[in-house]
Amino acid sequence: MTPTITAFEASPDRGRGLARDMRVRWALEEVGMAYRVRLVSFAGLKAAEHRALNPFGQIPTWEESGEEPGEEPGEEPGGGVSLFETGAIVLRIAELRPGLLPADAAGRARAIAWMFAAVNTVEPPILERATAVLLEGDRPWRDERLALIDARIRVRLDELSRALGEAEWLDGAFSCADIMMVTVLRRLEPSGLLEEFPALCAYIARGEARPAYRRAFADQRAVFEASRAGG
């Protein structure tokens, strides 16, 4: 089974690997799973065809299908599964192939807790910051609000840094939780806030140094370069 994911035809992050397909590409590279990419334009995101995959008109999406010309049908169970939401897609990859989740139930449940913590506790103030800059950057309250939001982000980064302590990864061995957390934290890179937390910078650097991360980054970067060459 070779899954198909979607990604931006022209990523607004200009190839910095901050779009959410990076999370899915990284997980796929970690487990050594080949995949196809279908690029979607901004108009295409809102089209009915894409909304059938993701009702909220976002990338990435995930489609499993083992029955294409030249492929062995039924190579793997679960054909026909289509998904949205990076957390769910990364978890699906971790369940299809070994390497991203502990084998024991307790470790597996804790890794899932950290995945939710990444998107539901650490990311919300980071998203709020992005909104304040991108969608409200021309408003008179911009600077005053950024200071308030940054204070809230610092609280979460401090808590996360203490939880990580001297550890290499969030909970024992590298897992899909680290894929989610590192990519959430990377959205803060332009803010300068991360530099206040050296343990988190080192954690992100460990993630970025993984060969699977590098391959995923190069692949999304190539899409951006091609879109620039074409446009």
Residues that bind a copy of itself (CB under 8 A): 51, 55-58, 77-78, 80-81, 83-89, 91-92, 105-106, 109-110, 112-117, 119-121, 123-124, 127-128, 131, 135-136, 139-141, 144-145, 148, 152, 156, 159-160, 162-163
Of 86 and 223, nearer to a copy of itself (C-beta) is 86
- Token pair for residue 49? 């065809």
Which residues are paired to 38 by β-bridges?
6
Q: What angle do CA 163, 97, 63 make, to 5 degrees?
A: 105
How many angstroms separate the CA atoms of 7 and 223, rounded? Answer: 9
* Shortest Å distance, C-beta 106 to a copy of itself: 4
Smallest gap, in angstroms, from Cβ of residue 88 to a copy of itself? Answer: 4
Residue 144 CB, nearest approach to a copy of itself (Å): 8
Shortest spacing between CB 79 and a copy of itself, in angstroms: 9
Residues 75-100 as b/e (b if ≥16 CB within 10 A, e otherwise) read eeeeeeeebbbbbebbbbbbebbeeb
Q: For a copy of itself, give the closer residue by CB, 13 or 85.
A: 85
For residues 77 and 172, which CB has a smaller minimum distance to a copy of itself in the complex? 77
| Residues 82, 3 contacting (CB under 8 angstroms) | no
Quote the CA–CA distance of 193 and 196 in Å, as a whole number. 6
